[in-house]
Amino acid sequence: MPAINVKLLKGRTIEQKREFARVVTQEASRILKCAPEAIDIIFEDVEKHDWAVGGALASDK
* Amino acid at residue number 61: K
Catalytic residue among 1, 2, 31, 56: 2
Query: What pairs with residue 5 in β-bridges?
Result: 42
Spell out where 1-61 has E strands.
3-9, 40-46, 52-53, 56-57
| Catalytic annotation present for 36 | no
Any idea which residues carry the catalytic annotation? 2
